Structure 1
Amino acid sequence: MTLLRPVRPLRPVRPLRRDLYAAVAAALLVAAAVLVGRYVYTYDDLIVGWPPLLGRWDPHAGPGTPAAVLVAAATVAYGPAVAARLSWRALLPAAWGASMAWIWSLALIDGWRTGVAGRLTTRNEYLTVIDRWHDIPATLRDFTAHILIHSPDNWPAHVAGHPPAATLTFVLLDRIGLGGGGWAGAWCITAGAAGCVAILVTVRALAGEHGEHLARRAAPFLVLAPAAVWLGTSADAYFAAVAAWAVALLALTVTGRSLWWALGSGLLFGLTCFLSYGLTLVAVIAAAVLLLARRGVRQRPVLFVPLLAGAAVVPVAFTAAGFDWWEAYHLLVTRYYEGAAGVRPYGYWVWANLACTVLITGLATAAGLRRTGSALARRRDDTVSDETVRLAILVAAGLLALLVADLSGMSKAETERIWLPFALWLLPCCASLPHPRAWLAAQATLPLLLNHLVATGW
């Protein structure tokens, strides 16, 4: 008598292979950007030392090396299990702390001075102009007069390139006794790490019945984000966190929480627009939040009253102080093309910027985005859960904002830091990936290699 063996269910090989194909395609995009940037263009064309990144080839190690390896190994080994078992209230501070540990350790690979304290004190950065803000109201009234390169006492590139709330943040830190590059770097790292918590809150609020499950699966990927290389200590890390919390508070409001959250969301949205001109594109992500919670919006239209009232506070305050946002923006566009942007070729950067995005989000995100696209394409299929589709819409909004910024031509190079506020919203797509430890290992390996082999500009 012949015994029949039980039939084993077929393993989902095809989706796994497609994930790997997406990751390989992303890696090839980076390789193409490196090769074309190094062998087709010159430094005078691109004005970056290690295209597509602003940096230079410089293999090195530092005091942060052992800590970075330890944080990476611990998160890969235990991150998914810990994220699944902790209570939600405990998970959020744990994710914030782990993210800070990851960012700090990566930054300290370059040492305290180069990696943290000196980042925001270089000639193009905010701390070089602190002494010019002794009279804040007068400086705000006169701010636009110093944006253009040929204007008297023109602002350094980053000061000129952002609305004054960016510089004013560091001025106020100095006024309360937290002056210097060390405190400024610590501020950016602490705030930047909080961005991952805001995204977890948003995913849980919006993704539906099982949103918390997806947020828990995404948590280790947000902690081990390759973007951590530039979250420590670029001011864009701070901008990204403010924008992320504006969205998170909006998500809490539209899903039935207190209307006070709407006021807070509006305040942060207003501040976001006065930290960076390009962050007006966060409105795309906010629109996705309203779309996903449209039933709650219809039931509570009153939420727009505190939301809009809050959003008006910062613009009204700066306008009353004499700063004209629109005038400054148009002057910035002129300044932008007076500088490196007038030289950098759009034909290279329009796709090389996307290679930078791969480097700040990782190969796992490329695979996750493939699954995001598949979920949206099959959203009416019964095999695709509602929460998966809702998460895909949120991620797609972040990707759309990033692509609009890319096509605008106002982000030619340095997008590894400039696009942090958009790129962080791509990371939750990793929640859909099987074998999370393997993908987390790939995520951790990338920033470890980058920070040890390349001396980045931030």
Structure 2
Amino acid sequence: MRRGWTPRVPELIGAVLAAVLVVAAVVVAQRRNEVVTPLLDGMGFTFDDFAALAPLFGQWGAHVGPGTPVAVVVGVLVVIAGPSVASRLSWWPLMASVWAASLVWIVGLAAVDGWQRGFVDRLTSRDEYLSEVGGIDDIGAMLRGFSDRIVDGQADSWATHVSGHPPGAILTFVWLDRLGLGGGAAAAWLCVIVGSSAAVATAVAVAALVGRDRARRLVPFAVIAPSAIWIGVSADGFFTGVSAWGVALLAVAATGRRPRHDVAGVAAGVLLGFAVYLNYGLTLMALPAVAVLIASRRVRPLIPAVGGALVVAAIFTASGFWWFDGYVAVQERYWQGIASARPFQYWSWANIAALVCAVGLAVPAALSRVVSLPRLRRAEPVTLLVAAALLAVAFADLSRLSKAETERIWLPFQVWLTVATVSIGDRSVRFWLSAQVALALAINHLTYTNW
């Protein structure tokens, strides 16, 4: 076989095991009337209401759209030319190319469902953020009363996605609207532009910790990850970009020279602090952040980073929103809705199957070469980053506050799992890139995802 198309046996074993998990989740879901529906008796829901495509959130339906040729062309180009371009192009032009290619890939996949349905209208439903933007005239009053409107059943309860997140999420779209960029198209562009930059952020972080040569191996996989399906378009794509740059700037701060690394440290803290006010679950981004500090063997960047994060927390607190009040209320709201119709007996492991669909088979193929006790003992940076992402996923799963939709909800962790692909060598790189592209195209053309 040609160089680049010969997978190693351990890689195949990891990918096959992951695929078996996905198939098992699909089979169990398809037998829902026998296996799962009895668990929902008396709740007023059926398994089909929210998981017809389980373990993914969506429904079956083969289709093509205006984004089909765009996605196919980008995918083919990355498989054929991605590794060589990544190895030869100068670093910063490469990073610009990564951002552009990732953006086109995301938009192309979104437009497979049609431009209006797949892109413009994604954030405009009654459950989404934009449904509440028009009713916010006083930001200060909104922040002071935010937690009081989280629990459902009130006349002024927030829409589902607004209630499920701290106020930084809705504020982002309010600010966008105040800038004259209201509506679904502008909101979607914000999410995909920031979300696509996560591919650059992960490469920058890896380059800072282990050098640009190894980071170049990550680049094609960062561009073409199947998780692009859910970055375009969901607000979690925006959350992903913000948190990814927080970790990346911390890596720069931990490996750079003063005073530049102090500035990067403060910026990292501000972004990671703001991320916690975008999504309660992003407190778990502390794990990749700690991994960066351990890998760099430097603690000092923690000081400016914590300072930056505390500034963000102080602003929100002084404005009237106490994060812990929101967190307590959101747990009550969570169990008022469809969470009660999602049995943990299934989703505790089907969540991981959904995660596999989002990160692609290349990640489990690479894990055996990256995550091992000897590598952990040596505090190898790539191993620490991937292990931290895995630990974050484990905590999120066991919290019982992530049941289904993890292909979207866990996007901020997925980009750090993709870092594992730096271990995929020249011998098999194109094989696994093609597997990533094929999976993403299959999901987007055989199903209608809800995001």
CA distance, structure 2, for counterparts of residue 217 and residue 444 of structure 1: 17
CA distance, structure 2, for counterparts of residue 188 and residue 338 of structure 1: 28
Letter in 1 for 2:192: I
Structure 2 portions without partners, runs of 5+ = 1-5, 38-44
Q: Which structure has the larger Rg?
A: 1
Cα shift at 1:309: 1.9
Is the CA contact 1:145–1:151 (under 8 Å) kept in the aligned structure 2?
Answer: no
1:349 corresponds in structure 2 to 347
Q: Which of these residues, 154, 162, 165, is aligned with residue 165 of structure 2?
A: 162
2:326 corresponds in structure 1 to 328
1:239 corresponds in structure 2 to 239
2:42 corresponds in structure 1 to none
The number of aligned residues is 430
CA distance, structure 2, for counterparts of residue 237 and residue 177 of structure 1: 22
CA distance, structure 2, for counterparts of residue 53 and residue 340 of structure 1: 15
- Give me the TM-score of the superposition, normalised by structure 1: 0.91
CA distance, structure 2, for counterparts of residue 321 and residue 379 of structure 1: 42
Is the CA contact 2:253–2:265 (under 8 Å) kept in the aligned structure 1?
Answer: yes
Q: Which of these residues, 87, 90, 93, is aligned with residue 87 of structure 1?
A: 90
2:253 corresponds in structure 1 to 253
CA distance, structure 2, for counterparts of residue 244 and residue 379 of structure 1: 22
Residue by residue over 1:203-239, the C-alpha shift from the partner in whole angstroms, topping out at 9 and shown as x without a partner, is: 01112xxx31211011000000000000101100110
Letter in 2 for 1:99: S
CA distance, structure 2, for counterparts of residue 281 and residue 134 of structure 1: 32
CA distance, structure 1, for counterparts of residue 256 and residue 188 of structure 2: 36
**Secondary structure of 1:133's aligned partner:** coil
Is the CA contact 2:376–2:384 (under 8 Å) kept in the aligned structure 1?
Answer: no
1:116 corresponds in structure 2 to 119
Cα distance, 1:315–1:394 mapped onto 2, change above 3 Å: same
Q: Which of these residues, 268, 272, 284, is aligned with residue 265 of structure 1?
A: 268
1:217 corresponds in structure 2 to 217
CA distance, structure 2, for counterparts of residue 48 and residue 285 of structure 1: 31
Matched, 1:313 2:311: yes
Cα shift at 1:51: 0.4
1:42-441 to structure 2, matched below 5 A, reads 42=37, 44-45=46-47, 47-207=50-210, 211-257=211-257, 258=260, 259-294=262-297, 296-297=298-299, 301=300, 303-374=301-372, 376-377=373-374, 389-434=380-425, 435-441=428-434
2:30 corresponds in structure 1 to 38
Identity across the alignment (%): 48
CA distance, structure 2, for counterparts of residue 109 and residue 265 of structure 1: 35
Cα shift at 1:373: 2.5
1:444 corresponds in structure 2 to 437
- Give me the TM-score of the superposition, normalised by structure 2: 0.93
2:8 corresponds in structure 1 to 16
**Secondary structure of 2:448's aligned partner:** strand
CA distance, structure 1, for counterparts of residue 202 and residue 215 of structure 2: 8
Cα distance, 1:82–1:433 mapped onto 2, change above 3 Å: same
CA distance, structure 1, for counterparts of residue 362 and residue 104 of structure 2: 21
CA distance, structure 1, for counterparts of residue 442 and residue 365 of structure 2: 20
Cα shift at 1:88: 0.9
Structure 1 portions without partners, runs of 5+ = 1-12, 381-385
Cα shift at 1:444: 0.2
**Secondary structure of 1:401's aligned partner:** helix
Is the CA contact 2:60–2:447 (under 8 Å) kept in the aligned structure 1?
Answer: yes
Cα shift at 1:151: 2.2
1:383 corresponds in structure 2 to none
CA distance, structure 1, for counterparts of residue 303 and residue 414 of structure 2: 30
Letter in 2 for 1:25: L
Letter in 2 for 1:438: F
Residue by residue over 1:379-399, the C-alpha shift from the partner in whole angstroms, topping out at 9 and shown as x without a partner, is: 67xxxxx79x32112111111
CA distance, structure 2, for counterparts of residue 268 and residue 145 of structure 1: 26
Cα shift at 1:378: 5.8
Letter in 1 for 2:356: V
Deviates more, 1:34-43 or 1:56-65: 34-43
Is the CA contact 1:226–1:443 (under 8 Å) kept in the aligned structure 2?
Answer: yes
List, as ranges, runs of 4+ consecutive aligned residues in structure 1 with deviation greater than 6 Å: none
Is the CA contact 1:45–1:345 (under 8 Å) kept in the aligned structure 2?
Answer: no
CA distance, structure 2, for counterparts of residue 151 and residue 226 of structure 1: 39
CA distance, structure 1, for counterparts of residue 252 and residue 371 of structure 2: 26
Residue by residue over 1:164-220, the C-alpha shift from the partner in whole angstroms, topping out at 9 and shown as x without a partner, is: 01011001111111100000001100000001111001101112xxx3121101100
**Secondary structure of 2:59's aligned partner:** strand
